[in-house]
Amino acid sequence: MYRVLNTHDYKEQNMIVHEYDIVVEMNNNGHEVITLKRSQDDVWADGKRGEEVLSLIDTGDAIIYPKRMYAGDVDYAQHAELFILLTFLNKTEFMPLYKGVIEEVPTKNFEI
């Protein structure tokens, strides 16, 4: 199990908050299942603590996402949770998803 600590949203209070746990298990097909769960911390309402948020299955050839979870409107919290798991995969897998740099290209205007 891995703990996900939020160092951004509570920066002004100089706090680090344990928001999620990541659990890695093998399913019956021998594929890795990576699950993001809400922590038991009091940052969550009583009914939400420990709740499973998202599970991805890594088959070794592809990542299987929950059906219809990312169709239609997807809120920012869901994007953040997916980002957490994809970053986790990128840092822990033997073949990273992607490494590189994103640079802003300056625009240049020409008068004609």
Task: Quick: pLDDT tens for 77-101.
Answer: 889 999 999 899 888 877 677 788 8
Could you tell me where the beta strands, DSSP code E, fall in 29-99?
Answer: 32-38, 52-58, 63-64
Q: Each residue of 58-68: pLDDT tens digit?
A: 998 888 988 77
Q: Give the pair of three-digit tokens for residue 88.
A: 């986790």
pLDDT tier, 74 (very low <50, low <70, confident <90, very high otherwise): confident
Q: Quick count: other Cβ atoms within 10 Å of Cβ 78?
A: 14
Longest dimension (CA), the chain: 66
Q: Kindly report the pTM of this predicted structure.
A: 0.81
Please say if the pLDDT value at position 23 is more than 70: yes
18 confidence band (pLDDT: 50, 70, 90): very high
